[in-house]
Amino acid sequence: MQEIENEFAKLWFEDGVVYGTYKPNVVIDLAAAKKIVIDRIALYKGTDYPTLSYIDGLSSVTKEARDYFSKDDGIKHMKRLALITTSPISRVVGNFWLQISRPTVPTRLFANEEEALKWLKEV
């Protein structure tokens, strides 16, 4: 298993999926988003993979960061993106992001990992 950790998130590659989880109570601004994406792209090594992101614990994500995560470099090498949350607050944030930023890669919100992985591996 390959792993990268920075001050905002932990990212790892396992069984053909890139995983990510945010540090507790982290605020993601554009600079943080760019750092996370640089580290994530390093895990892809030029190949497209499905991506699973746990968004519980996020404190807030700025509009600039949401926009960055939804297109171009922000979604580079993603086949699909599954967002997992059990938190009502994170669910609101995730749904807001999906509706407003409209990611240019197929993206869905899930409550559990098993359903998310099944959807990700349909590709």
pLDDT grade, residue 123 (50/70/90)?
A: low
How far, in Å, CA of 58 to CA of 115, rounded?
21
**CATH match for 2-120 among 3.20.20.80, 3.30.750.24, 3.30.9.10, 3.20.20.70:** 3.30.750.24
Instruction: Report the sign of the C-alpha dihedral through residues 47, 72, 55, 108, in that order.
Output: negative
Give per-residue pLDDT as tens, 96-120: 778 887 888 999 999 999 999 999 9
How far, in Å, CA of 121 to CA of 123, rounded?
5
Domain ranges of the chain: 2-120
Give per-residue pLDDT as tens, 64-86: 998 899 889 999 999 999 999 98
- Chain centroid to Cα 121, Å, comes to 16
How far, in Å, CA of 43 to CA of 25, rounded?
24
Give per-residue pLDDT as tens, 7-17: 999 999 999 99
